[in-house]
Structure 1
């Protein structure tokens, strides 16, 4: 249940609710609400806004309600309407439920009892008013005792009621409805839930208004930051290698006269524990006994205690279990030590609360007993609060007084249970399902209609050899880049694969000190690859490396000495000079970046480097002779990737094949690795693309690949490249190895890529509110370049925001379809697969968990950016070189920050896979992770038959045929025509002129 986020340098997206992944999605998010206090869905008012904007339709609400209620939706509730009608009315009109004081104010001070709600249709208003007039004229004598004060109500509006104006009748009708609802609900019993607090902290907070976590966490946060530090602090913590518990006892058992008064006596207690050799387990048992935690409550107590500081507890657990590479590991048992220390501090904090509350020092159990005597019983919901709920529903459905007066006590109970049972959380669930349903149907309709626009069966199309090919990561940010490239040069072909391109390696660049993994987190690399400087530049490389080392030592020394008394004075005098580059970086980020880049050439490695890629020794490793791959291993990598993307026949290869990795670089961004390639463990995928291109160009590798049935033409040349998704720059590797015969091909491809990146930057800029919609492509590229270098920029790019779709299949299905940068695109050709669907199973084993992990982390960080996300980026500070916290002391913040998800619409991802239901069901059966995500509703799933082009949707454990609604798919001449002048999420379009010629 603790967060599984590792060090922020290797930030990899994952399902935030991984602990509850075995539950169905809606049960899991409600469990998250109960466990973490986190919102399961968007606020109800946001869904209502979407309903008003047409993003959720009445048709969607009715369909979702019908599916949720089933036959029970037609059950009549006391002749006032069916369950479905009552719930639909509560969805169509806002239902206000607030504190008692707020509702009393609304009734007394607003026109809630004088005018119908503005959302109520006129025909319903007229019906209620007419019914009230008829009832008052003919049945006044038969009033129930509860409404015996009707005369007072009539006199309030004037005794001559037959001559009342329309406004008076409206007000009278509402006052009457209110009194009837209040009278009827008085007969409905409602008791508050009894208070039961597992943690003593919750008992003290509710009984005395004192939060002991404040003092406990203050000390614990500081110690955790020092204990797991990865090199930020100058001094090493004593006894750190002995574990969390022993390190804390060693440090705080020393008597200190200036320690916090709340912790008086702590050093003596820690000295007792240390001298007696009491283990963390034994200390925990002592604390549980002193706090009076019953045996049946101990598991829940431990869970709640650790979750009270779950960010730090989660990071301690991640480091203890070795998740993610770190410089300084921590011993096993550290989480147990953290719990033991937290309980010790909690005991002393409780004793201090007792001293403040009673004036004398007692045991923790005495303080807790005192708090129980002060605890008041929960108050049940007031009559007004319950009546106001029915009063609102009565207006929206046009219930008349005589209908409500005829209800018995049992019927009032049934009516209230029905309205109250459709809680705010359940209403939000229905809204959310309807919101997803609309997008899902629009996506599938667009997919099918776009296929029909092609006027040819995709299974029979045999396009001619492309002029050049570009293989990118499946990343949704590459969707627009690929789309613009195909618009600029229709005779090219773009493909998508996981961004490590089957090259799972530990990589060390020429200027790096350590090897770092470049592959998905679920893979442990076996091979090492190193970037070497050409022998001609070896001397220059050594000189620059030495210069970097000396500059690093000087910088470190200056940083350390600045903390001394004299150093601080010197820093204050000289530090004013730092304002010049600081101001320049804010006011002129683009120019400052160019100057910084020019000055950086003096310490950067020489421009000509090569990869040490071929291994001559038997076993791979980081030492010379063991670095790299054997020829057979390189051939296996090439075969796997070519099979995955379905490029296996000679005619499917172009003369120039660009393999383009991606990443992101921006300043003042602790979450930078979250913007890089998730398939490369939060690193940049350029080295993987470069390595693959070098493997595929080797004639010996090609010979072995040919033996596997894949014939790469002799005139095909692979080029590695890297796309920076933040500034939209594209760089190419090893161009000195490019044959002269392919220079013209490369120039054609580079010109097309240059234009595509300008257009891509222009499309991206529409999402930035600070950028005018009238910006030109040239201005857009300059803006994103400056944005990446602006240290004051909280939004360097929006990363995966708005992702909602993943397409697995041939590009022909989606080429020319405007997907608004919301789709992951994975290349797969079922014709190249075997009967066991092993290629598809291999692709989905990575694509579904990775894409679903990205989608779900964005979902949860968006619906609750405080609990599931990391809040606002603005107060973040890096701590321990592992994560961020708010200000100088807070829990370690996990998840995505608010500025990264503010434009995201939380939709579960829809996977559209070119395959058959039988194949997908087989893969779900053999892969538990995929099966769990699909069956639990964490993702939506549809398949498109490669032969018949029919679509089937996975629902309730089986695939059902999808019926196209026949919506018209608008056409556009280019992407600009689709998004021009808009900052919102856009519908699907079919773009003409992007399909390659036969």
Structure 2
């Protein structure tokens, strides 16, 4: 065993290094958005998505057809494509390809028209069985068609019969074409169709000849014995079902009726114990008992099991890294979940012990060894002799691409035949350099450019309307509402400002600086409420107030009785007698389900009433250290820690020195039923949790006189008249709840009433704007009907689209609200409040803000991007077949790999594009922050995000391109103006352009000033 022992350390390193390629999605109950391709962030975006596409067999961009539809509806303009090609080609765009035109012209033609690129069989069928050689493409410009036809006919009549035939390489083909069309005597009488048929036949023959004689040589196929052949896939289909069931049992968080035996001994020993004396119907598992006996007898470690399996399968040391990576990615969803539960889920009820991923690989390779040894010789040979299928495509396929391009460009076969060998080589090289994936890349960049330029232009125009912002004097509003930066709050804030222009709204990462493990009343476990890149140090609990202690205990006992009864009923139904009773009483159980579908809003209200009967009553947060007598593990904050949080938050969002008498701190989350991905709609800044507890905790901290005194010592003054109120906005049903209102002093009662009335109207309007994206909602509904509609969606058991979530997110603004107030941004912008005037020279406030905002918003944006461009590979497909596994993830049906990413119903209306950050800070400040923060620098310089700067000194807007900030020149187009948001979006379901909302002015003719 010495040689094995010497290899084990290297094997562990290889496996744990390969783990960075696995999905980093943790438990679905705390869904945290992240960059799906986080493992490729050390590369540029373009290189990373292409490398991942090859590794995972996924798409890096949308299909060409979708981009072409965007062109058709002016979502991408010709100017956008022209700009992208100019940036891409620089001076080489003017290089001529013979007499056919410039490289820029060739690529624009390939972008302008759809090119079919099929297999050789498909191409030959099209040539032989369709009218491809008789009729030009229907989308070919008439001028191009006429030019090519006339050139071909003129050459035939004038040159071919006067000596050109003797040296024409297509003479025999031309003669055959002429004979098919009636012979030489009929040439002079050919009609337009016959001339066109001759032109196309000659063109095709020229393309095919050029492909055969001048195209680059095919790449040599390379033997790759570890590629995933048909035999490998067959073996995978044998071992994967066993591993899927076992992984689900090993990671189970309480869903299973029984606990997996010996789980505490680790993945390998639990597997060994389960299968030591088991009988297997599959003959390929007959030797499993012998392998288990060997593991027990020799006390083999997981690393030694892996080494022996690789040895017995004949995997050489040089091939082991690639082989292990392939096996690790074979069930990458389950493998990734095992790794997350091992390394990043210590707070869960049943985390995975250290070394679980290595032990998983030991079991996987043990099973693969057995399956391989029992496979037929022919199957093994097929696996070992698979060829790399990367050989160049057949000449007929390359010729067909050129044939299509020539038609739209007006090139005749004679034009192609006149090319020199060097010109042919240039033409084929350029065609090969611009395949579908490259065209999609350019399309996508133009797609992003189109939106980016309009977004920046809108900000410039909106800022210009208000003059030089740096000279604006602060005014004290009637009240202030601090929301999460979430893009769904953009419309909520906009409507609130329209309802009550004297209020001020601000945006801050929705954990409000309170990073904590939180356990609500009635909850069994703590969960983190903070960004995923932050590790909380404090445990906070919700407890009943003293007067409610006994009542709370009775409610807790009632909940326990109800829970045990439900659990007993579920398990009892699995017995023979229970099954009979379920058959008899089953119809009664369907009544609540039917009500949830037929009358979702009413049944939801009944359910809420029932929950209140066994609910919490009045509660408090034990946020101070030592404040909880019932939960001694809760280590709350000290007064100094609370003061540091409050001071930092007030500085971050620019409230220092300008607090109004009432400040509402509003967290957010989402509620829906029968939705495994419910946490994906919650607050990303709270790690997939709901931000209500954070808002409540911050308000209690800021209201504490001791904290205010300590905050003053830090240089931030909170007026004695200012009162903070915690609130929670449910973005699914648009309800707003308030915390601890009974503790508010009487002096702010009227302001609270005013704020609540305005918020009630704003949430109804917000529901109305949201409803325009739901096909089941009427476009003619009023705000009350729209609010009822979204309340029904949240309680509907059959609803797979409870809300659109972050779909359509595209921008993030970090700066003063003046830049975006009164600007309709279509719920597509994260809004982060920051006042450069209140920051210090080192810009520590901005650095702290961006340290949380950029990773969180980029993670949300990129997960939506990848789940949209390839919902099968990067997303998790449709919700309809999803089945919750181990209370940690979803599978398709009863057994599949864990589906990571977002379901189709969350991303179907999303426009996938990299997020644009617009930050109010000088470029040199942003460059310094990038230099000091590797994560931000990697995202920006790698082009995983886009970033622009608004210099607060002169309001100049600059865009980060080619490694530096360059001035952005707006197009001068004036923004449309509408009297209200409703007037702008009324009757529309699709994405809308930017518009200024000005109640004093009506919508102008044509929508423009």
TM-score by length of 1: 0.95
- CA distances 1:429-454 after superposition (whole Å, capped 9, x unpaired): 00001110111111111110111122
- Separation of aligned partners in 2, 1:977 and 1:196: 65
Aligned to 1:583: 594
- Separation of aligned partners in 2, 1:622 and 1:197: 63
Q: 2:962 aligns with which of 956, 981, 991?
A: 956
- Separation of aligned partners in 2, 1:530 and 1:979: 43
SS in 1 for 2:453: helix
- Are 2:617 and 1:611 equivalent residues in the alignment? no
Relative to structure 1, is the Cα distance of residues 897 and 915 closer, same or farther in structure 2, using a 3 angstrom cutoff?
Answer: same
Aligned to 1:461: 472
Q: CA deviation at 1:353?
A: 3.0
Q: Does structure 2 conserve the Cα–Cα contact (< 8 Å) formed by 1:185 and 1:412? A: no
- CA distances 1:691-724 after superposition (whole Å, capped 9, x unpaired): 1111212222222222323222222211111000
- Separation of aligned partners in 2, 1:440 and 1:147: 54
- Are 2:439 and 1:413 equivalent residues in the alignment? no
- Separation of aligned partners in 1, 2:946 and 2:952: 19
Aligned to 1:213: 236
Q: CA deviation at 1:556?
A: 1.6
Aligned to 2:517: 506
- CA distances 1:144-165 after superposition (whole Å, capped 9, x unpaired): 2433231220122233122222
Aligned to 2:1007: none
Q: 2:769 aligns with which of 753, 757, 763?
A: 763
Q: Does structure 1 conserve the Cα–Cα contact (< 8 Å) formed by 2:541 and 2:634? A: no
- CA distances 1:603-640 after superposition (whole Å, capped 9, x unpaired): 1112x2222233358xx999449643222222211101
Relative to structure 1, is the Cα distance of residues 665 and 719 closer, same or farther in structure 2, using a 3 angstrom cutoff?
Answer: same
Q: CA deviation at 1:79?
A: 2.3
Q: CA deviation at 1:540?
A: 1.3
- Are 2:173 and 1:149 equivalent residues in the alignment? yes
- Separation of aligned partners in 2, 1:710 and 1:805: 31
- Separation of aligned partners in 1, 2:345 and 2:385: 46
SS in 1 for 2:234: coil
Structure 2 unaligned blocks of 5 or more: 1-20, 1002-1009
Q: 2:271 aligns with which of 221, 230, 248?
A: 248
Aligned to 1:525: 536
SS in 1 for 2:947: strand
Q: CA deviation at 1:348?
A: 2.2
- Separation of aligned partners in 1, 2:795 and 2:480: 31
Aligned to 1:347: 369
Q: CA deviation at 1:123?
A: 1.4
Aligned to 1:593: 604
SS in 2 for 1:745: helix
- Are 2:79 and 1:59 equivalent residues in the alignment? yes
- Separation of aligned partners in 2, 1:337 and 1:726: 42
Query: How do 1:931-970 residues align onto structure 2 when only pairs under 5 Å count?
Result: 931-970=937-976
- Separation of aligned partners in 1, 2:419 and 2:772: 57
804-813 or 142-151, larger mean C-alpha shift: 142-151
Aligned to 2:15: none
- Separation of aligned partners in 2, 1:254 and 1:624: 45
Q: CA deviation at 1:413?
A: 3.2
Query: How do 1:384-399 residues align onto structure 2 when only pairs under 5 Å count?
Result: 384-399=396-411
Relative to structure 1, is the Cα distance of residues 554 and 653 closer, same or farther in structure 2, using a 3 angstrom cutoff?
Answer: same
- CA distances 1:264-318 after superposition (whole Å, capped 9, x unpaired): 2222222223222222222222222222223222101111111010001111111
Q: CA deviation at 1:843?
A: 0.1
Relative to structure 1, is the Cα distance of residues 379 and 29 closer, same or farther in structure 2, using a 3 angstrom cutoff?
Answer: closer
Relative to structure 1, is the Cα distance of residues 378 and 906 closer, same or farther in structure 2, using a 3 angstrom cutoff?
Answer: closer
Q: Does structure 2 conserve the Cα–Cα contact (< 8 Å) formed by 1:528 and 1:621? A: no
- CA distances 1:421-475 after superposition (whole Å, capped 9, x unpaired): 2111100000001110111111111110111122x22111124320111000000
Q: 1:270 aligns with which of 286, 292, 297?
A: 292
CA RMSD of aligned residues (A): 2.0
138-147 or 665-674, larger mean C-alpha shift: 138-147
Aligned to 1:183: 209
834-843 or 518-527, larger mean C-alpha shift: 518-527
- Separation of aligned partners in 2, 1:842 and 1:571: 57
- CA distances 1:162-219 after superposition (whole Å, capped 9, x unpaired): 22222222222111111111122221354255153343752626xxxx6211111011
- Separation of aligned partners in 1, 2:39 and 2:388: 35
- Separation of aligned partners in 2, 1:95 and 1:615: 67
Q: Does structure 1 conserve the Cα–Cα contact (< 8 Å) formed by 2:225 and 2:386? A: no
Q: 1:710 aligns with which of 709, 713, 716?
A: 716
Aligned to 1:638: 646
629-638 or 874-883, larger mean C-alpha shift: 629-638
- Separation of aligned partners in 2, 1:46 and 1:336: 42
- Separation of aligned partners in 2, 1:10 and 1:186: 57
- Are 2:908 and 1:902 equivalent residues in the alignment? yes
- Separation of aligned partners in 2, 1:174 and 1:891: 50
Q: 1:472 aligns with which of 480, 483, 488?
A: 483
Q: Does structure 2 conserve the Cα–Cα contact (< 8 Å) formed by 1:262 and 1:349? A: yes
Query: How do 1:796-811 residues align onto structure 2 when only pairs under 5 Å count?
Result: 796-811=802-817
- Are 2:400 and 1:400 equivalent residues in the alignment? no
- Separation of aligned partners in 1, 2:72 and 2:275: 59
- CA distances 1:379-415 after superposition (whole Å, capped 9, x unpaired): 7633321211111111122113332112244433332
Q: 1:103 aligns with which of 123, 147, 153?
A: 123
Aligned to 1:330: 352
- Separation of aligned partners in 2, 1:504 and 1:177: 69
Query: How do 1:407-806 residues align onto structure 2 when only pairs under 5 Å count?
Result: 407-454=419-466, 456-606=467-617, 608-615=618-625, 623-624=631-632, 627-649=635-657, 652-806=658-812
Q: CA deviation at 1:46?
A: 0.5
312-321 or 924-933, larger mean C-alpha shift: 312-321
SS in 2 for 1:3: coil
Structure 1 unaligned blocks of 5 or more: 358-366
- Separation of aligned partners in 1, 2:100 and 2:662: 71
SS in 1 for 2:170: helix
Q: Does structure 1 conserve the Cα–Cα contact (< 8 Å) formed by 2:216 and 2:428? A: no
- Separation of aligned partners in 2, 1:195 and 1:392: 32
- Separation of aligned partners in 1, 2:223 and 2:597: 53
Aligned to 1:9: 29
104-113 or 185-194, larger mean C-alpha shift: 185-194
Aligned to 1:119: 139
- Separation of aligned partners in 2, 1:936 and 1:201: 31
Q: 1:194 aligns with which of 202, 205, 221?
A: 221
Relative to structure 1, is the Cα distance of residues 856 and 383 closer, same or farther in structure 2, using a 3 angstrom cutoff?
Answer: same
Q: CA deviation at 1:532?
A: 2.1
934-943 or 172-181, larger mean C-alpha shift: 172-181
- Separation of aligned partners in 2, 1:97 and 1:530: 61
Q: 2:113 aligns with which of 75, 82, 93?
A: 93
- Separation of aligned partners in 2, 1:69 and 1:621: 69
Query: How do 1:882-921 residues align onto structure 2 when only pairs under 5 Å count?
Result: 882-921=888-927
- Separation of aligned partners in 1, 2:610 and 2:200: 76
- CA distances 1:718-754 after superposition (whole Å, capped 9, x unpaired): 1111000000000111111122222211111111101
Q: CA deviation at 1:342?
A: 1.1
227-236 or 805-814, larger mean C-alpha shift: 227-236
SS in 1 for 2:239: helix
Aligned to 1:361: none
- Separation of aligned partners in 2, 1:624 and 1:631: 18
SS in 2 for 1:954: strand
Relative to structure 1, is the Cα distance of residues 336 and 373 closer, same or farther in structure 2, using a 3 angstrom cutoff?
Answer: closer
Relative to structure 1, is the Cα distance of residues 646 and 189 closer, same or farther in structure 2, using a 3 angstrom cutoff?
Answer: closer
Relative to structure 1, is the Cα distance of residues 702 and 993 closer, same or farther in structure 2, using a 3 angstrom cutoff?
Answer: farther
Q: CA deviation at 1:525?
A: 1.9
